């Protein structure tokens, strides 16, 4: 294939990208309007055209009326299919959904929500983030959710690239496509150390994995329920008043808490190794239902328990030394 010098293609390519970006501005939900949906022959469509033209040659040469009829029927069907293919994307609303963080080496998952306000179903809509690709149908006046997985090579923020949307339905002769810029991003946590040493001893001699029974006198207040909270701590009376689920909080946990401390690690470890070990410990402590705090050179997270604490600690580890983007 002909390769143009980069000096020539570079300005063109960046202009092209800029043009695409203007046409498909980033934002939350995007409606695929007429000026954002493109259509052209697909690869098999090109083959189809070559085939019909060959048959047309035969029809002319042998003066075969039925061959003319077949060629024109096929061409007419292909022409009609343009509108079906175009319609399949036109008016579809695409919005970013949830994201699922993951550890380095795993796949980060991004959700995309497709909403079809139209009265006809949409068939075989292919969504693509680079090589991550998935296809889905969206019923008439309905919505559909799709998860796309992207590999997570390094810790920190993983930003999803421009989302490609395309369809070949119904005949595959034409391909209709569009783009959406969501700037969906998710956190990639450091890879936890394999066979990490056991958790360090908690301060003040509290045994590993032992939760001191909490008395009513330690009650400190109510906070909204979070996943991972023990049902024993739910304030059922408050729940009955229709205030949503609230959880009772207690004093006195911090003093027995486990501190996962960057500075307490052996001096031979480099910073990524430290992050890996701390990540493993966060997971271990959370799994054991412990209350734990995290101390990094840049941040300190006071001891807490539950999923929120785990996520906060993992986020702090993921972003250690990384500048937060605007």
- Which one of 43, 159, 251, 300 is in contact with another protein (CB under 8 A)? 43
First to last CA, the chain: 41
Asked if 59 interacts with another protein (CB under 8 A), we say yes
C-beta of residue 251 within 8 angstroms of C-beta of residue 212: no
Contact range with another protein by CB under 8 A, out of 111-119, 176-184, 185-193, 270-278: 111-119
Q: Which of residues 13-32 bind another protein (CB under 8 A)?
A: 29
Asked if 11 interacts with another protein (CB under 8 A), we say no
Residue carrying the six token digits 């010098």 = 5
Length of the chain: 326
- What residues form DSSP beta bridges with 292? 258, 304
Asked if 60 interacts with another protein (CB under 8 A), we say yes
Cα dihedral across residues 219, 221, 227, 233: positive or negative: positive
Show the CA angle centred on residue 33, arms to residues 29 and 39, nearest 5°: 120
CB atoms within 10 A of CB 238: 15
Asked if 301 interacts with another protein (CB under 8 A), we say no
- Rounded CA separation 65/245 (Å): 77
Asked if 95 interacts with another protein (CB under 8 A), we say yes
- Which one of 24, 36, 41, 70 is in contact with another protein (CB under 8 A)? 70
- Which one of 41, 97, 208, 238 is in contact with another protein (CB under 8 A)? 97
Q: How far is CA 47 from CA 44, 52, 103, in A?
A: 5, 9, 44
- Which one of 65, 194, 240, 264 is in contact with another protein (CB under 8 A)? 65
Asked if 117 interacts with another protein (CB under 8 A), we say yes
Contact range with another protein by CB under 8 A, out of 110-118, 266-274, 283-291, 316-324: 110-118
Nearest CA to 180 out of 21, 7, 323 is that of 21
Q: How far is the CB of 100 from another protein (least distance, A)?
A: 15
Asked if 40 interacts with another protein (CB under 8 A), we say no
**Exposure of 52 in the CB half-sphere (CA atoms within 13 A):** 18
Nearest CA to 236 out of 220, 228, 226, 225 is that of 225
Q: Which of residues 225-254 bind another protein (CB under 8 A)?
A: 244
Asked if 123 interacts with another protein (CB under 8 A), we say yes
CB atoms within 10 A of CB 232: 8
Residue placing its CB nearer to another protein in the complex, 97 or 228: 97
Q: Which of residues 131-170 bind another protein (CB under 8 A)?
A: 133, 135-137, 139, 141, 145, 168-170
Residue placing its CB nearer to another protein in the complex, 243 or 307: 243
- Class of residue 216 by CB neighbours under 10 A (exposed 0-12, middle 13-18, buried 19+): exposed
What are the residues binding another protein (CB under 8 A)?
A: 29, 43-44, 47-48, 51, 55, 57-70, 72-77, 79-81, 83-84, 87, 90-91, 95, 97, 113, 117-120, 123-124, 133, 135-137, 139, 141, 145, 168-172, 244
């Amino acid at each position: 294939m002909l390769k143009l010098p980069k000096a020539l293609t570079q300005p063109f390519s960046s202009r092209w990208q800029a043009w695409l970006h203007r046409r498909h501005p980033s934002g939350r939900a995007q409606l695929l309007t007429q000026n954002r949906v493109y259509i052209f022959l697909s690869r098999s469509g090109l083959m189809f055209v070559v085939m019909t033209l060959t048959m047309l040659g035969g029809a002319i040469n042998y003066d075969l009326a039925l061959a003319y009829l077949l060629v024109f029927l096929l061409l007419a069907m292909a022409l009609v299919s343009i509108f079906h293919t175009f319609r399949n994307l036109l008016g579809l609303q695409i919005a970013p959904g949830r994201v699922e963080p993951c550890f380095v080496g795993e796949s980060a998952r991004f959700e995309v929500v497709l909403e079809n306000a139209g009265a006809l179903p949409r068939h075989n809509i292919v969504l693509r983030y680079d090589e991550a690709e998935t296809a889905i149908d969206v019923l008439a006046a309905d919505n559909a959710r799709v998860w796309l997985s992207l590999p997570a090579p390094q810790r920190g923020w993983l930003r999803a690239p421009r989302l490609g949307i395309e369809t070949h339905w119904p005949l595959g002769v034409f391909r209709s496509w569009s783009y959406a810029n969501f700037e969906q991003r998710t956190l990639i946590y450091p890879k936890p150390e394999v066979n990490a040493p056991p958790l360090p001893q908690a301060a003040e001699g509290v045994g590993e994995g032992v939760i001191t029974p909490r008395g009513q006198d330690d009650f400190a207040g109510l906070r909204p329920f979070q996943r991972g909270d023990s049902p024993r701590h739910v304030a059922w009376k408050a729940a009955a008043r229709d205030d949503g689920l609230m959880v009772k909080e207690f004093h006195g946990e911090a003093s027995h808490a486990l501190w996962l401390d960057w500075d307490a690690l052996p001096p031979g470890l480099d910073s990524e190794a430290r992050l890996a070990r701390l990540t493993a410990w966060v997971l271990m402590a959370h799994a054991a239902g412990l209350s734990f705090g995290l101390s990094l050179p840049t941040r300190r997270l006071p001891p807490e328990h539950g999923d929120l604490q785990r996520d906060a600690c993992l986020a702090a580890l993921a972003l250690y030394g990384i500048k937060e983007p605007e």
